[in-house]
């Protein structure tokens, strides 16, 4: 068991089957300890498994959920990256299933569960690829653009509830997904393009 940092709302990391992270913060009890992985891997594209993630987090922390950070995401694993014309329907469905449907299901569950009037937070991750319009990223960029639109609409729908909804669009992030299938030359190019 890990001690919870002194905060008003600790976070619980849940792994989905794509080894990405989704955080649900469920407790304001400082004496509570966070178990190392109280949730089994889950598919965020499956509504039953998303509900189970929330159920388990609430049971572990004996509290309603306060925060959702949904960063589950996958890209097309094929190398070289396919154009839209060469993207298979199966790859498109997988990308939209995890990235967009998963975000929708997590947002829907959070919108129905987060504490009203108590400063609930929903945070979704998009990608800087949406603004770059880089060739050979069509399905991924479109799935993340849908998340940005959903964020704006959900924020309006939750107006007056004291639940905020925001979206963050980071650039390249060092994850297994980033390195998979990339050459040293491509990694170097991405690093050089980074403004930081």
CB 65 within 8 A of CB 114: yes
- Which strands sit side by side in the sheet containing 21-25, from one edge to the other? 12-15, 21-25, 67-70, 121-125, 164-168
Q: What is the mean predicted confidence (pLDDT) over 104-129?
A: 92
SS3 state at 118: coil
Q: In whole numbers, what is the pLDDT of the chain averaged over residues?
A: 79
CB 171 within 8 A of CB 130: no
Q: Which residue has the higher pLDDT, 90 or 29?
A: 90
Tell me the pLDDT tens digit for each residue of 37-56.
Answer: 555 578 899 999 999 999 98
Q: What pLDDT sits at residue 7?
A: 28
pLDDT at 1 over 80: no
Residues 6+ positions from 150 with CB-CB distance below 8 Å: 100, 103, 104, 107, 124
Q: Is the dihedral of CA 50, 51, 54, 59 positive or negative?
A: negative
Picking from 141, 128, 49, 65, the residue whose alpha carbon sits closest to that of residue 100 is: 141
27 is catalytic: no
Q: What is the mean predicted confidence (pLDDT) over 131-147?
A: 95
CATH code given to domain 2-193: 3.40.50.720
Residue ranges per domain, the chain?
A: 2-193
Selected catalytic residue, list 103, 122, 140, 151: 140
Tally of CB atoms within 10 A around 137: 21
pTM attached to this predicted model: 0.75
Tell me the pLDDT tens digit for each residue of 165-181.
Answer: 999 988 777 777 677 77
- In this structure, the dihedral spanned by the alpha carbons of residues 127, 25, 20 and 196, taken in order and rounded to 10 degrees, is 40
């Amino acid at each position: 068991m890990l001690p919870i940092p002194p905060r008003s709302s600790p976070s619980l990391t849940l792994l989905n089957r794509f080894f990405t992270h989704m955080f649900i913060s469920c407790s304001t009890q400082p004496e509570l300890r966070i178990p190392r992985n109280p949730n089994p891997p889950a598919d965020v594209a499956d509504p039953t498994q998303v509900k189970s993630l929330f159920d388990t987090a609430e049971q572990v922390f004996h509290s309603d959920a306060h925060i959702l950070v949904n960063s589950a995401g996958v890209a097309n694993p094929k190398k070289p990256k396919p154009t839209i014309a060469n993207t298979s329907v199966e790859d498109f469905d997988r990308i939209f299933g995890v990235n967009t449907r998963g975000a929708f299901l997590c947002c829907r569950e959070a919108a129905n569960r987060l504490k009203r009037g108590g400063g609930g937070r929903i945070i979704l991750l998009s990608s800087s690829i949406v603004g770059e319009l880089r060739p050979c990223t069509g399905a991924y960029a479109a799935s993340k653009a849908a998340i940005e639109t959903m964020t704006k609409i959900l924020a309006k729908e939750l107006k007056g509830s004291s639940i905020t909804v925001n979206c963050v669009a980071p650039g390249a992030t060092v994850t297994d997904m980033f390195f998979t299938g990339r050459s040293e030359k491509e990694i170097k190019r991405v690093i050089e393009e980074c403004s930081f």
